[in-house]
Structure formats: C-alpha cells, structure tokens
Amino acid sequence: MQYGMIINLDRCVGCHACAVACRAEWEVPVEFARNWVHRLGPANTPHGLAATYYPGLCNHCTHPACVEVCPADTEMVTFKDAKSGKTKTMEVAATWKDPFNGTVQIDKKRCIGCGACVDACPYGARYVNPDLADDDSDGKADKCTYCMPRVEAGLQPACVQTCLAEARIFGDLDDPDSEVSKYVKKGAVGLTSKNVQIGPNSRYFGNKKDMALLMTQAPQEMPEANSRRAMLAGLIKPARHQAKSLALAGIAGTLLVKSIQEKEKE
Amino acid sequence: MAINLTRRNFLKTASIAAAGIPLSKVVAKAETGIAKAPLIPPGSFKDTKTVTGGICEMCFWRCQLVGKVRGDRLVKLEGNPKSIDNGQNLCARGNSGIKLVYDPDRLKYPMKNIGKRGAPKWQKISWDEALNICADKLQATIDKYGPKGIAVWYHGASSHYPNAYFDYLGVPNKYEPAFYQCRGQTAMAMMQTLGFVTNEDVDMPNSKAMLLVGCHIGENIHLSHVKNFLKGLENGSKVVVVDPRFSAAAAKAHIWVQIKPGTDTAFLLGLMNYMFDKGIYNKPFAEKYCLGLNRLKKHVAEWTIEKTATECDIPAKQIVEVAELLAKNAPNVSIHPGRHAAWYGNDFQRVRANACLTALLGAMDCPGGIVRIKRMSSGHVHWPEVDHKEDPEEMALAEYEEKYPFRPPGTPPELMRDTMISGKPYPIKSLIVWGTNSIKTMPRQERTEKALANMDFILVTDVTPTDITMWADILLPEASYLERYDHIEKGTQWNQGDKPQQFLSARMPLIDPMFERKDPVWMINELARRMGHGKDIPVKNQEEFVNHLLKETGLTIAKLRKLDGIYIQPGESPYLKKGEEPVFETDSGKIELYSEAMEDEDFPPLPTYTKTAEPPKGFARMIYGRSPVHTFNRTANNAWLVREIPENPLWINDESAKKMGLKDGDRVFLENQDGKKSVSSTVVKTTPGIRKDCVFIAHGFGTFNPAMTVGYHKGIDDNELNTKINREGETGISGMRINFVRVVKDGKVIDIPA
C-alpha cells in the first residue's frame, strides 16, 4: 500500500482553504506550513497563457531523502498493517517510511530537532516547530502526515475534506482500482526533474498549460546540505552505539563533537 | 566546555552540537531540572465536542458550519455535514474564523475616546456609562434636529435588529456598502428590466455556455457559487470571460476577451446587434415576452462588429465567436448578472444591457439560465409603528431632493456625506456606524473625514478595531458571528439540477463571548431603555429575537438544535414546467428592453453606452477586485489569512514593467491623477495577463489603524486613491474605476507607458 494524493489543477481555484484547514487541524504555527498554495502566473507557457496554483505538501516519497539523514538514536519499532494485521519490525531513527502504508512519519518524542531532515527535503516540506520544544530539543521536526491520525479515525485528511473544488483526492496508489490510480493512468505526475527523482506520491493533474507552469516549481537539484548531513548522520550513529556499549561516552563524545565542529567550519 | 555534564546530557550535547544548536542553550535547559514534554497537537477530532448551528460570516455567502470545541475553546471550524449548500467544505476565510475569535487585537470593552477623532486615546468604561452617553447624545440630536439628524452606516447580520430600532426612531438616512459600493445596480437594473432581483442565481452547472463579464469567480470565493461554476466546467459548459485581466476565471475559460476597461456595454450591444443581424437570437421567446424588441434592434444597429471591435479593442472575430456560441446554446446559457457593479458611473445601463442579452437568448427559468430559486421564508422583527412629525421616507435625502429614482434601498452615501458637511438641506449631527469600515468602503476619504469631523457624536460598534473605529466617540465591542444568535439562512441544494430541497438554518453561538463583548439585541435593548423606549422593546433577548424570526416556519432554536442546526424539506424545481408561462413583475408585465419608466425620468430608455475618460499620459487605470482569502478589509487582521496572502501585489503588464525598469517583487507606492500618494506600499507582479492601459490591485488592504497589528499598512489601500467618483443619475451609486495611477519607487515617480 502506498498512500498518495492527487491534486486536480483543472478544478483547483486557488482558494487556500486546504492550507488553512491543515493549520487549524494541527495547530501549525503561522511561521510554518505543512500545506501551502503558491499562486503561479499569469505567465506564458509553450501551450499558451496560464495561471494556476501549486498546492504543495509532503510527497511521502518512495525514496525519501529525509529519512536516511536522521541522526537520532535508532530503535526497533514494530509496524502493523491496518488492513491485514501483519506486523514488521524495523530499526528506525526518529523518522521513517511506514512499510505498510508508505507514509513518511516522525516520532516527536525521539526527534532531536536538529533539522537535518528539513535541509534534506528538496520540496521544503519539513520545518522545525519550536512550539514542540522539550528538555531534549529546541523543537521538533514536523510536516504533513497525510493526516494519518484522522485517516485511522475514518476521516478524510483535513485538506481533502474542506476542498470546495473537490480538487484533492486521497487514496492508495498501489490499488489499481483506486481513484488516485486512475488519475495516475490519466497522466498525474509528481514534481520531479532530471536530478530530483525520489518518487513523490503527491501528484498533479491538469491541462498542458497549467502543468507546464506548475513544473517550473519542480526542484532542479537535491539540496546541497543533504550530502553533508547524510555523512554526519552516518558518522554519528555508529559512534554513539559504540560509546554506549563501551561506557566511554565522555571520550567518544568529546572526539565526536570536536570532529563535527571542525567539519562544520569547513 | 561546560562543566557538570552528566553522561546523558553529554550524549545529547554531542548530537545537538552536530545539528548546530547552541550548546549553551541546551545545557541551561537541562539544568532547570524540569522535564518538558513536547505538546503534540492531537487533531481537532480528538477529545472535542461538535457544536452545530454555526453560520459563517467571514463573508456574506453564509455557509453553514460546525465547531470543534475542546473544553471551552473553539479549535476548528468545518462545514456542517448536513449542509446541502456548502457540505463539509469551507473556504480559507471560513477555516480562519477562530483566528478572528481569538484575535488579541479584538475589541474587548466599551471605550470612550478621550483623544481626538482619527487620533484616539481610549479609556475603558462600563457598559452602563457607555450606553448612558450614547442615549444622552442621540437624544440631544433628536431634540435639536429631529431623527433626521442621525445617520446610520451599517453592514452585516448584526445590524438587522439595530436597524429595526433606528426605523422606530424615525432615522431616514441609512446606507449599506453592499448596495452602494457593490451590487446595487445588479439588483436594481435586473429588477427594472426583468421584474425581479436575480441575485447571482444563475444555473451554471446545467448550462452549455457561460458569459462572465468582469466577474472573477475564483478570486471571489462564494463557496456554493464556485461549486456551481466548477460543475458547469465539469459538465462541458463553454466559458467566456470578459476581463482586461487574466483572472482566475479567465484561466479556466475557453474564450478570454481581453476587453478595454469601461467598454463592456459596447461589447454587449455589439453581441446583440450581431444576433439581430443574423437572426440567431431566441425569436419565439423575445417576441412573446419582451417589450421594445424592434426599438432595441434599431438602437443597437450602430454597433457593428467592426465598431464594437474598435471600441473594445478586441478582435472582431472574437465577438462573432462569442455571439455564435451563446446563440447556438440558447436558452441553456448562463449570462452571469455579476455582483460588484459600481465601476464607471454608467453601470445601470451596462446591467440593463446584460439583462437584455439574457432576454434575447431566453436564458431564464430553464436549465443553465437565470433561475428563480424557491427558498423558504422567515419573519422580521418590528418595533411598534410610531407617527413621526416628519415622515422618514419623505425626509430621506434622495427622496427629499427628488434624485436617483432607481436607487437601491437606503440613501446614497456620498449624498449623505455632502449633507453631513454642508448641513443642507438639513443638519445631520450624529452618526452610528454598525459593523462597516466606511474608511475603506466610501470613496473620497478626505470627504468622509470632513463629515466625521463635523459630527456632534459618533458611535461605532464592531468586532475588531477597523479604521473607522479611530473616529468613534464611543466604541462598543460586539460578539462575533460565532458567539451570538441572529441570522436566518435559507436556500436550496446547491445544484438546481439535483433533487429539489430547501433548507433553513439559524445562527447559534458555538462558544460564549469573552471579555465584555455583547450581542446587538442586548446593546439595542439597553440603549432603548435609556432612551425611554423600554415599553416598546419587541424581544427580550437574542434567543427570543431568533425564535420570533422563525415563528412562521414552526421552527424554534430548540428544534433546530435537535436537527443539527439545519432543517431540510422537499423543494421545488426553479425550471418552468411544460406549458407554464413565466411571470415578469415589471410595469408592463413584460421584460422591458425599452423602459418607459426610465424615459419618464429622462434616462436613456434603451441600454446605452457612455464612454469613460481615458487615462492621462503616464497613468494607467486602477482596476481593483477581490483577493480569494480576504473579504474586503474585514479579514485584514486575521493572522492565518495574512499568512496566505499578506498584501495586494500590483499587477502590471510585463512589457510596460520592463520599460519602467520594474521587476517582480519590487516595492512600490502608487500616486493618482490628483497627486494622492498611497500611505503604504506593495510588491510588483509583472505579467502578460493584464492590458497596458490598466493595473490591478485587490481591494481591502493597507489598514490605517495601528491597533490592527497584523494588517497595519500591509499592501495598498485602493480606496485612498479613489479621489474621483462618477455618481450615476439612475441610482446615486458612484463608479470608482475612473481613477488613474502611476508608480513611485524609491521616491521616484515612474510613468506607465501607454
């Protein structure tokens, strides 16, 4: 199963209700957004004058760039398929891709608020919410969850429910009979480019001119920070495991901090 | 390196240092010894109760909603699942209602202005003191000048009960921007021609073609109306949008007619002439039901395709294309009546032309056409009839001066304002402003300020500290639409092609008002008692008020509560049945293409085009319109909506912008033809989607009152640049799109090339 969302630009009128309903539902601070609408055009496209909208949200990518970079302690977590009841246990850091529904989620308790995942996302879908600060962090990474808590309670995602245009459709992209799959067959695509191919599962459908304008919003490069963060995350994880097991945390930590700080300066 | 590090903290330090969070901060936190857990929002559906009976008033379309309430706090608004109008949907504004309720800038207490009007200093006073002052001052005006010494400016559902009281007092001059700066002509010209007010009841879902003249659905978000438009598109209706600008609607249109501003009437006359010429209008309908068909035919004959194309600055073949499309699909065509019509001061004639085109196509009472939607009715509250020394109807300024015979309800605002300044034909010395920000609605602000300065007393009631509140002597804080009972909303299923149903809903509070905010029924009754009218009070409180309005329906607040806030019953299709004849309640009983009543009043009896002035060299016409997430200036302080669209970008033609050295995002001021410079600035948006002879900004920005901390000086107030108006003789409504602007950047004035 892979949850996905279709946004039909032929229907979208750019009313921004999705963005605001999301903000209300999840009390998203006004400086951030899990769900946004960028107004595009009027501008010339190869297919004629166009004006449309980029209603954006987390793409719950098939190959998420944000998951690997998480430096938080890993834990063995058992996931359960809501339908079949099957379980799967995986070692995950504070953010992961759910093996059953394909959504990318965050464990706020374990998130250290470092922002590595924020930097890694080419779509700008994540932010660190300082309102969620605790003793272990100055805030927590946050983003669209495809409203999984609502979906589990039998509700539609907040943005889908409020959409007056019925421009947003939520469902299982792995189910060939779902409405979202039908849109994919009709040509709904994610915001990808030559160098950004991480399998976005929020997809857009529309006429040629609107899609041409929308595609100007596709990220052209993976974020630069990505490689650095990934390296740091790779470095810190085994080091910490080792430190714990050897009870030599002090020394290992000192070395680690020093080496990282030096790297940061570079 | 800090000392006293535990192992746990040290590990944490290491990981956090890696993330670039200042070490000092982390250590300091850890040392507090208080374990903080993240406050993860649970979602609006967890541990909340659903309160029904809400009716939105973020705009005036009035969707039905429910509130999710946790404890005593409203956490989210959603469309009422029982609604057959908006369903579970709300627009951005509807969703943002809770930011209005909990806006820290909201008015909390009655206040007295101990500073100057326009530069107030506020002193918190008791309700008792505030109402005593209001009663004394209003009574003093009545004693000296009669009730005609009082003027009322109002807007919105909260003013209904107060207006009933002001009628009882005999106040003759009242004004509502909904008519005089918006849809007055749309209502009155349709009534004069077709014999009924069409509202925007046009059956777009079931149309085969739609014509939108200057009507930007999509930027103007009225929820079920937008649903109708989209359903039409989905059903394959061909859309024609006539607009100098590539609007949200134009972006979805099949034909975009990029018309020269101010020439819309010529375009409509050209369409009619082509249809007459080719004999492609709906002859059976027009010949049977219209008065003056031949006279109209002769009258429009001058509007050949070539002449129309030249006047409107559009391709001739486009006129043919549109005329053929509409004629081919008649009568199932939606000739949209429009909404805001106060454009050039020749607008009554334009709406008449629109009505005539509708009639020529027979696009009425049928699928796709103008439909007469059958809604339930509800009652009114009246105070007892009183014999006034001077008949308020005769004393109303327009009646008194025998002007503006086709005016909508109320007194033309600029006429009232002239009187407030001149004292002629009689003095107006007290002003009551109820729920409208007249600084942003009435053009020629300097005249408004002059009129305000001339008053003996000004009472303003509002929810937020809008610009006009700065001129109040007494300022009263009102409960918002989510905290009071008042409006009765009536309607049908949103798509007239679906099974006919009717609904009725009454506004009920979702939460209690905080601080000392009060509902208008309480305010007016307390005021009336102090003015010696206690014995005539018709309803004791807001609940009784609403139950009174509901009386004829057999419903009550209690019954509606049990029905989740909405009563639904079978309805009636608005389409004529086979053999059923349409009824036109005009003087002649026919559709009046030719209007004798207009001729009697010395106005053109057939829809007539008048040229509007051209922009002077270096200037472009300022056209204004709606922002999809704002309702005029009413939402200017809503943090969530301002987050979505913080200001009103200046749309300027990209080629002109290039010549001017302007690029996207440049910050600019505007200066108009009278040298009036905007107080605040906005950003430039260069686009091929607007003509060179005009620029566009959304209305309602550039709040002047610093007490509106979110909206203060965000964007440009289009209305402050409306220093010139063209008051139309038919209605007394002033056209405002006759103002011209140029750009000021870094203190330098930049001409806009033609």
Taking the Cβ of residue B34 and every Cβ of chain A, the question of whether any pair is shorter than 8 Å is answered with yes
Q: What is the pLDDT of residue A246?
A: 42
**CATH number of B237's domain:** 3.40.228.10
Residues A131 and A244 in one domain: no
Residues B454 and B346 in one domain: no
- C-alpha gyration radius of chain B: 28
> In terms of pLDDT, which residue wins out, B625 or A226?
B625
Residues B342 and B381 in one domain: no
Structure confidence at residue A136 as a pLDDT band (50, 70, 90):
confident
Q: What's the whole-number average pLDDT of chain B? A: 95
Taking the Cβ of residue B33 and every Cβ of chain A, the question of whether any pair is shorter than 8 Å is answered with no
Helix (H) or strand (E) holding A240: helix A225-246
pLDDT at B22 over 80: no
Residues B388 and B484 in one domain: yes
**CATH number of B451's domain:** 3.40.50.740
What stretches of chain A adopt beta strand conformation (E)? 3-8, 35-45, 48-57, 75-80, 87-92, 95-97, 104-106, 127-129, 140-142, 168-172, 202-205
What digits encode the pLDDT tens for the residues B380-432? 999 999 999 999 999 999 999 999 999 999 999 999 999 999 999 999 999 99
What digits encode the pLDDT tens for the residues B472-498? 999 999 999 999 999 999 999 999 999
Q: What is the pLDDT of residue B601?
A: 97
Residues B565 and B635 in one domain: no
* CB burial readout B272-291, b (16+ within 10 A) else e: bbbbbbeebbbeebbeebbb
- Give the torsion through C-alpha atoms of B236, B240, B244, B247, to 10 deg: -20
Residues A166 and A253 in one domain: no
How many domains, chain B?
A: 4
Please report, rounded to a whole number, the percentage of residues in chain B having pLDDT higher than 90: 94
Would you call B525 exposed, middle or buried from its count of C-beta atoms within 10 A (0-12, 13-18, 19+)? buried
Is residue B637 situated within a structural domain? yes
Total residues found in chain B within this entry: 754
CB neighbour list of residue B474: distance below 8 Å, 6 or more residues apart: B110, B111, B112, B113, B130, B133, B134, B457, B458, B459, B460
What digits encode the pLDDT tens for the residues B295-353? 999 999 999 999 999 999 999 999 999 999 999 999 999 999 999 999 999 999 999 99
Cβ of B40: how many Cβ atoms within 10 Å?
15
Residues A116 and A200 in one domain: yes
Is residue B673 situated within a structural domain? yes
Q: What is the pLDDT of residue A265?
A: 43
Q: Distances in Å between the alpha carbon of B148 and those of B167, B296, B416, B490?
A: 11, 43, 11, 34
pLDDT at B139 over 70: yes
Residues A146 and A258 in one domain: no
Residues B735 and B667 in one domain: yes
Q: What is the pLDDT of residue A230?
A: 57
Residues B352 and B392 in one domain: no
For B179-216, what is the HEC assignment?
A: HHHHHHHHHHHHHHHHCCCCCCCECHHHCCEEEEECCC
Least CA distance to B628: which residue of chain A? A15
Residues of A in contact with B234 (CB under 8 A): 11
**Preferred mutation among A8, A11, A20, A39 to probe B, highest tally of B CBs within 10 A:** A20
Given A186, A201, A217, the domain boundary residue is A217
Residues A250 and A232 in one domain: yes
**CATH number of B682's domain:** 2.40.40.20
Whether A10 sits inside 8 A of B644 (CB atoms) is no
Structure confidence at residue A83 as a pLDDT band (50, 70, 90):
confident
Q: What is the pLDDT of residue B37?
A: 65
Amino acid identity, position A261: Q
How many domains, chain A?
A: 2
Is residue B720 situated within a structural domain? yes
Taking the Cβ of residue B73 and every Cβ of chain A, the question of whether any pair is shorter than 8 Å is answered with no
Structure confidence at residue A165 as a pLDDT band (50, 70, 90):
very high
Residues A158 and A178 in one domain: yes
Q: Distances in Å between the alpha carbon of B599 and those of A137, B269, B611?
A: 78, 19, 21
Q: What is the pLDDT of residue B39?
A: 72
Q: What's the whole-number average pLDDT of chain A? A: 89
What stretches of B371-463 adopt beta strand conformation (E)? 430-434, 457-462
Q: What is the pLDDT of residue A231?
A: 60
Residues of A in contact with B78 (CB under 8 A): 21, 161-162
Residues A134 and A180 in one domain: yes
Least CA distance to B685: which residue of chain A? A41
Structure confidence at residue A244 as a pLDDT band (50, 70, 90):
very low
Is residue B699 situated within a structural domain? yes
Q: Which structural domain, as residue segments, surrounds residue B27?
A: 1-36
Residues B431 and B485 in one domain: yes
Would you call B64 exposed, middle or buried from its count of C-beta atoms within 10 A (0-12, 13-18, 19+)? buried
Q: Which two tokens stand for residue A106?
A: 């965050």
Helix (H) or strand (E) holding A229: helix A225-246
Structure confidence at residue A234 as a pLDDT band (50, 70, 90):
low
Q: Which of B13, B21, B90 sits opposite A138 (nearest CB)?
A: B21
Residues A15 and A102 in one domain: yes
Would you call the peptide bond into B477 cis, given omega within 30 degrees of 0 as the criterion? no
Structure confidence at residue A228 as a pLDDT band (50, 70, 90):
low
Residues A133 and A260 in one domain: no
Q: Which structural domain, as residue segments, surrounds residue A156?
A: 3-217
Q: What is the pLDDT of residue B8?
A: 36
Residues B357 and B386 in one domain: no
Least CA distance to A114: which residue of chain B? B19
Question: CB–CB of B218/B204 below 8 Å?
Answer: no
Residues A51 and A88 in one domain: yes
Cα distance between residue B643 and residue B739, in whole Å: 30
pLDDT at B193 over 60: yes
Q: How far is A162 from chain B (nearest CA, A)?
A: 4
Mean pLDDT over B545-569 rounds to 98
Residues B650 and B731 in one domain: yes
User: Edge-to-edge strands of the sheet including B49-55?
Assistant: B49-55, B64-70, B73-79
Residues of B in contact with A116 (CB under 8 A): 19
Q: How far is B629 from chain A (nearest CA, A)?
A: 6
Whether B230 sits inside 8 A of A26 (CB atoms) is no
Is residue B244 situated within a structural domain? yes
pLDDT at B18 over 70: no
Location of structure tokens 């009655």: B110
Residues B238 and B164 in one domain: no
Least CA distance to B627: which residue of chain A? A15
Please determine, for the modelled complex, whether the ipTM score is greater than 0.90.
yes
Q: How far is B69 from chain A (nearest CA, A)?
A: 12
Residues A196 and A252 in one domain: no
Structure confidence at residue B754 as a pLDDT band (50, 70, 90):
confident
Q: What is the pLDDT of residue A232?
A: 58
Mean pLDDT over B254-265 rounds to 98
Q: How far is A10 from chain B (nearest CA, A)?
A: 8
Is residue B371 situated within a structural domain? no
Residues B218 and B315 in one domain: yes
Residues A19 and A116 in one domain: yes
Mean pLDDT over A244-258 rounds to 43
pLDDT at B33 over 60: no
Is residue B159 situated within a structural domain? yes
Residues B134 and B242 in one domain: no
Q: Which two tokens stand for residue B74?
A: 């409203």
What digits encode the pLDDT tens for the residues B231-253? 999 999 999 999 999 999 999 99
**CATH number of A92's domain:** 3.30.70.20
